[in-house]
Structure 1
């Protein structure tokens, strides 16, 4: 069994198309989408159209939940743009998506964790920023994840951990945005350090799962230029470099 796991596309249609083209060469049995599909200053409507037509196994991320709340005054800029661009049928598709999904009994799809779509599963936050989570922290968050393989997203950071009980937790990284900063619950940044679109292929052999993380080139300068046109220089820097723009003095 070979599964291509996508997450955090964030309306970056060029990155999505490049990843889908790469997947075609990899001989996978299934493609899954772990949410955060459209929010951002790029091409939310076109990205959702592409995904609806593909009919992939898809779950809802925190940004779908926030857009569906329908109150732009309480949304960030990325959700506001997506909400303004998406059609009623696209919002209805968001509403139809589950918050988690099992594939048979062996594979669980979540966005953040099984408890909440904004949980950092494989990373931990403190007043010192963001770091890789310890085994004990991940084991605690996996309490409700009853599957041999758990695929998660949300943090945009490609990472995997095999738990002592045999469960395998994999975050494929982000298709569409390779760096961001957040102030909650502590100020922190996520940076992959390159602009390549990320996804993962997980493979089962003899009852054990392994993960291959893939980084795919695409026209990120064009995506960055579009972000600049839409008034998002922060996105432009992240799309070009995979890093967060340093604070201005």
Structure 2
């Protein structure tokens, strides 16, 4: 089998970033797109993103924020404590919400890829990154082999951390995180007792290209320039100054720096 795939993840409602990535994918004439979830949540343009996804066939799975949107809608009108959640729910059309309900948590593609958002078992855990009170670290080879031992496909796709990483395991498997299309950094703390930073270090919209030719696999991590100043202005106009800064730099602002 000889085939080329575009791998995208974590759009988070960033319409301008998605448009730039889709244009780049089309320029390269890549027909198969695999989308690892977290489509709409954030202070951006969720329904605009939904329209682009409808117009461009792709293989999609659910992410943790996709699940969170549906769970929030199911809570009988109770408002979320997150302003972004209420705005996203209000902007998404009914057909976009119904589409979210159809997404699987994981999938396999062409007997080559296993796709998950976080880990095979959880959409809200990191596959590649170990987070502790000392910071963010990449798991070692033995740990990653153990974490993926139930997966028979050679290439394991994950998102969630928003940091583009490629790890080649000694058992000949490959783990690929394409990075985030729409949010190049964020501050994490919700599940943990401490704050931590996920930073890609650039404001570019990120995705990956995988070319499979039998046993040969070529992978490119792509960084697409787009109007991140415009995207930042959208986030700020919707009341989220932190996201506005993340979009401009791919780093933590000084006042949010995790020591």
- The question of 1:233 aligning with 2:235 is answered no
- Corresponding residue for residue 86 of structure 2: 80
- The question of 1:141 aligning with 2:147 is answered yes
Q: Is the 8 A contact 1:12 1:43 kept in 2?
A: yes
Structure 1 residues 68-107: aligned runs within 5 Å: 68-69=70-71, 70=73, 71=75, 73-74=79-80, 76-107=82-113
Per the TM alignment, residue 242 of structure 1 is displaced from its structure 2 partner at its CA by 0.8
- The question of 1:194 aligning with 2:202 is answered yes
- The question of 1:180 aligning with 2:186 is answered yes
- The question of 1:119 aligning with 2:125 is answered yes
Per the TM alignment, residue 28 of structure 1 is displaced from its structure 2 partner at its CA by 2.3
What is the TM-score normalised by the length of structure 1? 0.95
Distance 2:149 2:125 in 1: 13
The SS at the match of 2:27 is: coil
Distance 2:215 2:164 in 1: 23
Per the TM alignment, residue 211 of structure 1 is displaced from its structure 2 partner at its CA by 1.5
Equivalent of 1:247 in 233, 249, 255: 255
Distance 1:202 1:80 in 2: 36
Equivalent of 1:18 in 16, 20, 24: 20
Per the TM alignment, residue 210 of structure 1 is displaced from its structure 2 partner at its CA by 2.7
C-alpha spacing 1:76/1:33, structure 2 compared with 1 (3 Å): same
C-alpha spacing 1:144/1:79, structure 2 compared with 1 (3 Å): farther
Q: Which runs of 5+ in 2 are unaligned?
A: none
Deviations 1:58-88, CA, capped at 9 Å, x for gaps? 1111111000012464463433321221122
- The question of 1:166 aligning with 2:172 is answered yes
Deviations 1:23-73, CA, capped at 9 Å, x for gaps? 122232411111000101110011112102213111111111000012464
- Corresponding residue for residue 212 of structure 1: 220
The SS at the match of 1:200 is: strand
The SS at the match of 1:65 is: helix
Equivalent of 2:38 in 33, 36, 39: 36
Q: CA RMSD in A?
A: 1.6
Q: Which runs of 5+ in 1 are unaligned?
A: none
Deviations 1:175-194, CA, capped at 9 Å, x for gaps? 00001001132421011111
- Corresponding residue for residue 6 of structure 1: 8
Distance 2:32 2:256 in 1: 44
